[in-house]
Amino acid sequence: MPDYTLKIRRYDPESGEAAYWEEHTVELKEHSSVLEAILKVKADEDGSIGIRCSCRAAICGSCGVRINGRPGLACNTHLVEASQRAGDGAPITVEPMGNMPVIRDLIVDMDAVHWKKIRRVTPWLLNREPIPEREYIVPHENMVDVTQSMACIQCGACVSDCLSMEVDPGFIGPAALAKAYRFVGDPRDAEPFERLKDLAEDEHGLYDCTHCFNCIDACPKGVAPMSQIMRLRRRAGNDFEIEDRNNGSRHEHAFVKNIQRNGLLHEADLLPDSYGGKLNPRAAPELIESMPTVIKAVARGKVTPAKALLHQHKAPKEVKQIFKTIEARPEREELNLYITGYEDAEDRVDVPHVPHTDEPTSLQPPDPPVDKSPTFPAPEPAPESAPEPAPEPAPEPESESE
Amino acid sequence: MPSHDVLIIGAGLAGQRAALAAAGAGASVAVVSKVHPVRSHSVAAAGGINAALNPGDSWESHAFDTVKGSDYLGDQDAIEIMCRQAPEEVLYLEHIGVTFHRSEDGHLGTRAFGGASQARTFYVADITGQAILHVLYEQLMKHSGQVDRYEEWFTTDLLRDDDGHCVGAICRNLRDGRLEVFDAKAVILASGGAGQVFKPTTNGLIVTGDGIAQAYRVGAKLMDMEMVQYHPTTLAENGFLITEGARGEGAWLLNARGERFMEKYAPNKLDLASRDVVSRAAQTEINEGRGFPDGTVALDITKVPRKRTLEALREIVNIGRDFAGVDITREPIHIRPGMHYIMGGVKTDSFGETTVPGLYAAGEVACVSVHGGNRLGANSLLDTLVFGRRAGEHAAGRAKRMPMPSTPSSRVADAEETIAAIIRRPAGGRRIAAIKDELGTTMNRYCAVFRDAEGLAEAQEIVRRLKEEAPKAGIDDRGTVFNQDVIAAIELGYMLDVAETILVAAQERKESRGAQFRTDFPERNDEEWLKHIDVSLGDGGVPTVDYSPVTITRWEPQERTY
C-alpha cells in the first residue's frame, strides 16, 4: 500500500497558541478516503485530533473540511485523487471549512452560521389548506424535482467557500436558499409567493448570489445550490413577477435583454436599464452614485469612454437563435440531476441545441424531451397591494427567530 | 440546571418523533444528542417505510408478513399496534412535508420490499431516512418553543432516585466539557443500536450501543439480544449498505457462475425473501465456493431501467461510484452479508416503558418486540416513529401526574471524577481503537450469519479479556473542548457490555430462528425456544438470563418458507 502524507490544521482553543500545521504519514489503499487516513492517525498516533464524522458514506454530512484548499467531505475524497490534486509529492492539506468560526482542529461552529441561515428561511412546510384527509395529490415530477434540494445533507461545504458570503456575511447563502427551494418547489406549500417575496426583498437574499459556481463545485451530493437559487429567481421574477426593492429582478431582466441585443455585455446600458432606462428618474441617482467607480475604471484604463458609450457589438444570429429556441419551448426546462442523470452526456436531453454555421438556422423546438421538468401550478395572482417588504421573516409565534 | 417533563436522549427518528409527540401532549421537552440531530444514523435508512395504505392492502396482511418475518418471535400484540398505526404515521409524515415519491396519478407511490406480500413501502428515492429525519428536524425548529435542543451533548449517566425511578441524566456538553444534571419526570432513550460492536457494519461510527448499555447498567432488562441482522447486500471492504430497495426495484442476486441462486433458497419470493433467508443464502454460496474470490456474490442492478435507477436509487449510484468504483447502472456490484441492525434491545411494553420506572426506550435501542428474530426491511423506520410517538405521549402523561424531581448536584461530582480519571490515565496501554477493532472483528467472526457454541465461547473469552484491557487504554487528549478521546473511552465500555449480552443470549438460544442460525442446532425448536431471552445485570456485574413468553394473538407458528 502506498504512503500518504497529511498536513492537518490543528487548533486547540485551550492552549492559547495559534493554529498550526501538523504532518502525519499513513499507509493506506489508493481508494481509501481522507477520512480513513485521519481516523488511522487518530487510532494509531494521536487521539486528540478533532473531526466530526459518523457514517463514512457521504450521507450524515458530518465531515465537511477543506482538502487542498477545496471544500468537501473527507469520507468521499479518495487519497489517490487528493494526493494528485496536491501535486508532485506534496502533502494533502486538510483544514477546517471557511466562513465559519473554528471550534477546534477540523470542527467548525455550524450553528453560528449555517444553521442560523437555515432558520432564516422559515424551514418548515406551511401547509396548503385544507390539509387532505389522506395525501396531497401532487405530480410525481414535483416530488422528484424537490428531491434534489432534499438531498442536501447540511454538510456546509457550499457555505465554506461561498464568495458572496465572504464579502457579505449576512448573505443567506447557498445551503439555506437551496432549502428554501425545497418549499417553494413543493406544491403542498401554501406560501411560495410570500417566501419568494421575503427572500427577494432581503438585501442579503435571493439576488446576493454572484453566480461564482463555487457551491456547485463544492456540493458532494449534486444539490447544485446555485441552480436552486436561479430557479428561485425565475419563480420570483418570471412566475410571480416580484419586483424587489434591491432591483435584483429588474437587473436580471435588463442583463438578459442586453445580451440579446448586443451579444456582449454593454455595461454603460446595463445600469440605467436595470432602473428602467436612462430617462427613468430612478436611474439618475444610481448613475450618480456609480460615478466614482466609473471614474476609477476610466482612470485605470479598464474602460475607455468610447468603448463604454459606443458599444459597437451587435448580437450575432447564433445568439439570437439561442434566445428563440429557449423562448419557443412550451415548458421551462430545469436541470435536475434526479431527472436528467449526472455528468453523463447521454442523459442530458435538455441542453439547448445550438446549430453550427453549416446547419440550417431555422430551428424547430427540439423533439419532446424524454424527461420533463416539473410543471408548476399557475401562480396565484399577486395580491393587489403587495405586502410590505418584511426584512425579517414573519415566523409563527412559537417559532425560532434569530 | 435544566429540568423538563420529558428528557429524550438521542435525536434520530425515534427521539425527534417522541419529542414532537410529548410536546404535542403538552409536556416541556428536552432532546439531548451527542451529535447534531441530522447526523443521527436514521439518516442512512435508505429504502422506505412500510404501511398498509394502498387500496387492497390491510394491516392484517402487513402484520402477518411481520410475524412471519420475525420467525414467530415477534410479540403479536405489539406488531398489531405498529401495523394498525402505520398508515396514520405515514400520512402524518406526508402532511408535515416529507417528499414521498408519487405514483403516476399523484398519489403516494410504493415499491416492493423483502418479505412483504404487497408493495407497501413508501419512499423518497433511496434517501427515505434522510428525508424523514430532516423534515422532523424542520418541525423541531418550528416547535423550538416547546422543545429545547441540546445538540452535541453526551449522556454519561442515567439518574435514579431512592425508589429506583429514573429521574434524569447527567450530560456533558462536548463543546466545553461542562457536565449538567438534567432533571426530568420521564426519560426516553432513543439513542439507536449498536452496530459498531461489529466490524464491518453498515452503521455509523456513532452507533455504539450507548442507550442499551446505560439502561442495562441501571438495571433494565434487555431482550432478544442474540438477534443481530446481517443485511444481504453490503460492500465487502467497508460494509456500506446497498439498499434492499435495489432488489425491490428489480435487481437480482447472482453467484460467480452467473446463477440466480435465490431460485434455490426461496423459489417464490426469490431476491425479496426476508433478510435472514437471503443473507444465509448468499453466505452459503460464498462458503461453498460459488462466490467471487473476494468473498462476495453479485447484485445486478442493470436489471432496473437506467432512468429509474437514476431517479430512485441515486444514493447507491453514488456509493457504487465513490466507494467501489462501479457504475451500478452498467455492471453488477460485488456484495456480501454484513452487520446492519440489532432486533434486540431494552425490553419495553407497547408504550415504550422499560422495566425501570420512568425510563422509556424507543427505536433501535428498544425491543418491543416487533421484529422478533428478523426485522423486515422498511419496518425499522416505522418502528421508530410509531413507538417514538407512543413513548412520547405516554411519558408526557406520566409527567402530568408527578412533581419535578430534583437530583442533588453533588451527583455531578461523581461523574466529573469518572471523566477526570479517564483523562488522568497514563499514556501507554493498548490503544482504544485497537481494542475496538479486535472486538468488532471478533464479533463478526463468531457471531455473524452462522454461529456455534465453540465460536461463541471463544468470542466471550476475548470480550472478557478486552473488558479488562479497556479501562487501562491510553488517552492522548487532556482537554475539555471536543475531547473525543474521552468519549471514545466511554463508548468502548458501552460496546463491550453490549457485546457481552449478545454473546450470552446467543449461547443461550440453542436453536436456529430468524437471524440466529446455530450450525450445532440447525432447526427451529418451538417447543423449547418459542420464548424471549431476557438479559439483565446480575450480582458481580455478570449478565443474568431469564425468559419471557412470546405474545401470540392470531397467528400460530408455522413452517416458514419464501
Domain identity same for A30 and A145: no
C-alpha cell at B6: 420529558
Number of Cβ within 10 Å of residue A216's Cβ equals: 17
- Asked, colleague to colleague, whether B3-227+341-400 and B231-337 share their fold, the answer is no
> Which class is B410-522+534-544 in CATH?
mainly alpha
Per-residue confidence in pLDDT tens, chain A, 402 aa: 899 999 999 999 999 999 999 999 999 999 899 999 999 999 999 999 999 999 999 999 999 999 999 999 999 999 999 999 999 889 999 999 999 999 999 999 999 999 999 999 999 999 999 999 999 999 988 888 898 999 999 999 999 999 999 999 999 999 999 999 999 999 999 999 999 999 999 999 999 999 999 999 999 999 999 999 999 999 999 899 999 999 999 999 999 999 999 888 888 888 888 888 878 888 888 888 888 888 888 888 887 777 777 777 888 899 999 999 888 887 776 666 665 544 444 444 443 333 333 333 333 333 333 334 444 444 444 444 444 444 444 444 444 443
Please indicate, yes or no, if residue A229 is contained in any of the structural domains. Answer: yes
Please compute Rg for chain A using Cα positions.
24
Hey, which residues 162-221 in chain B have their CB within 8 Å of chain A?
Answer: 175, 204-207
Given this model, what pLDDT does residue A282 score?
81
Domain identity same for A93 and A171: no
At B24-54, the pLDDT tens digits run 999 999 999 999 999 999 999 988 999 999 9
Given this model, what pLDDT does residue A373 score?
45
Please indicate, yes or no, if residue A156 is contained in any of the structural domains. Answer: yes
Please indicate, yes or no, if residue A361 is contained in any of the structural domains. Answer: no
Given this model, what pLDDT does residue B204 score?
97
Please indicate, yes or no, if residue A366 is contained in any of the structural domains. Answer: no
Please indicate, yes or no, if residue A97 is contained in any of the structural domains. Answer: yes
Whole-angstrom Cα distance, residue B40 to residue B37? 5
Residue that finishes a domain, picked among A192, A217, A239: A239
In terms of residue numbers, what domain contains A57?
3-108
Q: What is the mean pLDDT of residues B123-133?
A: 95
Domain identity same for A37 and A115: no
Spatial contact of A133 and A156, defined as CB atoms under 8 Å apart: no
A contact test, residue of B101, B310, B478 with most A CBs within 10 A = B310
Partner-chain contact A57 B310, CB within 8 Å: no
Given this model, what pLDDT does residue B237 score?
82
Domain identity same for A64 and A24: yes
Q: CATH number, domain at A31?
A: 3.10.20.30
Domain identity same for A125 and A235: yes
Taking each helix axis from N to C end, the angle separating B453-469 and B432-446, rounded to the nearest 10 degrees, works out to 170
* Nearest to B395, CA basis, from B27, B13, B1: B27
How far is the alpha carbon of B142 from chain A, nearest alpha carbon, in Å? 5
CA atoms within 13 A on the CB side of B257: 8
pLDDT-wise least confident of A10-14, A129-133, B64-68, B307-311: B307-311
Instruction: Report which residue type is found at A2.
Output: P
At B242-301, the pLDDT tens digits run 999 999 999 999 999 999 999 999 999 999 999 999 999 999 999 999 999 999 999 999
Q: What ipTM was assigned to the predicted interfaces of this complex?
A: 0.96
Given this model, what pLDDT does residue A350 score?
42
Domain identity same for A119 and A103: no
Whole-angstrom Cα distance, residue B183 to residue B5? 8
Given this model, what pLDDT does residue A330 score?
78
Partner-chain contact A47 B205, CB within 8 Å: no
The reply to whether CATH 3.50.50.60 applies to domain B3-227+341-400 is yes
b (16+ CB within 10 A) / e for A351-386: eeeeeeeeeeeebeeeeeeebbbbebeeeeeeeeee
B199 contact residues in A (CB cutoff 8 A): none
B174 contact residues in A (CB cutoff 8 A): none
Q: What is the mean pLDDT of residues B170-182?
A: 97
Whole-angstrom Cα distance, residue B118 to residue B123? 15
Q: What percent of chain B has pLDDT over 70?
A: 100
Please indicate, yes or no, if residue A86 is contained in any of the structural domains. Answer: yes
Domain ranges of chain B: 3-227+341-400, 231-337, 410-522+534-544
Given this model, what pLDDT does residue A144 score?
86
Average predicted confidence (pLDDT) for chain B: 96
Domain identity same for A123 and A147: yes
Angle B82-B83-B86 (CA atoms, 0-180°, nearest 5)? 85
Q: Choose the closest CB to B142 out of A62, A124, A147.
A: A124
Residue that finishes a domain, picked among A173, A208, A239: A239
Given this model, what pLDDT does residue A309 score?
74
Domain identity same for A127 and A176: yes
**A20 has which bridge partners?**
A10
* Nearest to B340, CA basis, from B438, B448, B248, B253: B448
The CATH number assigned to the domain with range B231-337 reads 3.90.700.10
Domain identity same for A40 and A137: no
Please indicate, yes or no, if residue A203 is contained in any of the structural domains. Answer: yes
Domains identified in chain A, total number: 2
Q: CATH number, domain at A193?
A: 1.10.1060.10
A126 contact residues in B (CB cutoff 8 A): none
Please indicate, yes or no, if residue A186 is contained in any of the structural domains. Answer: yes
pLDDT-wise least confident of A110-119, B411-420, B484-493, B513-522: B411-420
Residue B439, C-beta contacts closer than 8 angstroms, at least 6 positions apart: B197, B199, B462, B463, B466, B495, B496, B499
Given this model, what pLDDT does residue A333 score?
67
Residue B525, C-beta contacts closer than 8 angstroms, at least 6 positions apart: B510, B511
Domain identity same for A116 and A233: yes
Residue whose C-alpha cell reads 452496530 in the numeric block: B195
Angle B462-B463-B466 (CA atoms, 0-180°, nearest 5)? 90
Strands B49-50 and A102-104: unpaired
